């Protein structure tokens, strides 16, 4: 599983040279033990829990700068974030399959609504969707 994720991340890195939309959530468990967020140069954010084998990689110019202008993590409740993310993911994934050009919607998001990813993951994913909608004038 880890080798699959690594190869997927590497392939997404190559794809990101031509586009700015890769986003991946990979999950294999029901609970979060600890989550690591890494801000890397070029507006790449990696949120991962290696013990549970999931990660989110957001490669989006301007996202990190935009994120600091948003309300802090504790502003929204976890239930609110999970409910909004479920809706956003369903709409986003539907467009992945309907958008044949894959210009904005390149890859589906594997978000399991029965998994409790924790506040940090849900907060960053929620804010990514807000950023995506604002930046690309999309309504999810």
Instruction: State pLDDT tens for residues 80-129.
Output: 999 999 999 999 999 999 987 888 898 899 898 888 888 888 999 999 99
Q: Say if residue 79's pLDDT is above 90.
A: yes
- Which residues are CB-contacts of 86 (< 8 A; sequence separation ≥ 6)? 111, 113
Full residue range of the structural domain in which residue 14 is found: 2-136
State the Cα–Cα distance between residues 58 and 64, nearest whole angstrom. 10
Domain count for the chain, please give it: 1
Classified as helix, coil or strand, 5 is helix
pLDDT of residue 99: 84
State the Cα–Cα distance between residues 38 and 43, nearest whole angstrom. 10
For residue 55, name the pLDDT band (cuts at 50, 70, 90).
confident
Q: What pTM was computed for the model? A: 0.68
């Amino acid at each position: 599983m880890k080798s699959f994720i690594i190869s997927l991340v590497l392939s997404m890195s190559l794809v990101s040279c031509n586009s700015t939309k890769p986003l991946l959530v990979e999950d294999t468990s029901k609970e979060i033990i600890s989550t690591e967020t890494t801000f890397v140069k070029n507006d790449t954010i990696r949120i991962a829990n290696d013990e549970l084998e999931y990660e989110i990689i957001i490669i989006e110019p301007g996202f990190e700068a935009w994120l600091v202008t948003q309300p802090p993590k504790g502003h929204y409740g976890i239930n609110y974030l999970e409910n909004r993310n479920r809706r956003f993911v369903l709409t986003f994934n539907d467009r992945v399959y309907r958008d044949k050009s894959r210009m904005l919607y390149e890859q589906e998001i594997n978000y399991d609504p029965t998994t409790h990813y924790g506040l940090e993951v849900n907060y960053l994913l929620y804010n990514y969707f807000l950023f995506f909608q604002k930046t690309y004038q999309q309504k999810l």
